[in-house]
Structure formats: structure tokens, C-alpha cells
Amino acid sequence: MIKSMHVGDQRSYKRMITKEEVAAFGELTKDMNDAHFNEDYAKTTIFKKPIVHGMFIGSLFSKIFGMEYPGEGTIYCSQSLKFLKPVYPDTKLLVLVTVKEIIMEKNRVIFRTEIFDENNECMLTGEAMLMPRKEKVHE
């Protein structure tokens, strides 16, 4: 698995988070903060309207890592997140991961993780460290 990966490899997908998904995430995590749900309260904040939970946005990388690249069997070791701009429901997003470093002897891969809006503005950036599934030994 790791032997077929290269620095600079990228994977991405487009995603839009709806108000209904924000509500479901709030219910699931029990984070019902007014910043995500209360229009009147949100008007008093720097965001001016309800925002998507930051951890919901941060979780979007998992689709790529767990199912596509490196794919099934990958272990997510760590993730840093820097929230640059608020994400509002119904914003078109591009979720992008880029291989930054491969540590062959430890079976670890470091990725740059980024999310952009439809205007190509970076909303979130960070780094993830993953442990790809081990290569199958052929008998």
C-alpha cells in the first residue's frame, strides 16, 4: 500500500453540507450551540448567521482516507485543524488531501488537508498522519 504512494499525490471530492445534516451532527454529538442553530443569536456574532460545526468540517477527510486513499484498513493516527473562515450550510466545498511526507520505515504518511469554498478560498487547513494497511504477503 505505502509503496505505491508518492509525495504530491492528491485526492479530492466536492461536498455541500445542508442544514439538516448540521442538525443531525448536533444531535449526534449533543453540540446544540446557538452558533449553529439560532438565527437571532448568530446575528449578534461575527458570523452573522449560523455556521457548520468545525468538527463536522474537519471530519470530511475521513471519506477519502478510509475509503479511497490510502483506503480500507487505514488507521487515522492524528489530525491538526486550523479554521480560517466560517463554513455556512449549503456552501459548495472542495475537500483536498495531498501527500506531504512518506515515512516508509514506520509505515506512516503525512497529508496536507484543506477545504476550499466555491471561490477557491481556503476555509480550513491542517495535517493528518495515517498508517496505511500493511501490504499482503504473497505466498
- Tell me the pLDDT tens digit for each residue of 64-109: 999 999 999 999 999 999 999 999 999 999 999 999 999 999 999 9
Strand partners, 95: 13, 115
**The pLDDT of residue 134:** 82
pTM: 0.91
Residue 25 has pLDDT above 70, yes or no: yes
Q: Which CATH class name applies to 2-131?
A: alpha beta
**The pLDDT of residue 136:** 61
Residue with more model confidence, 136 or 90: 90
Residue with more model confidence, 10 or 3: 10
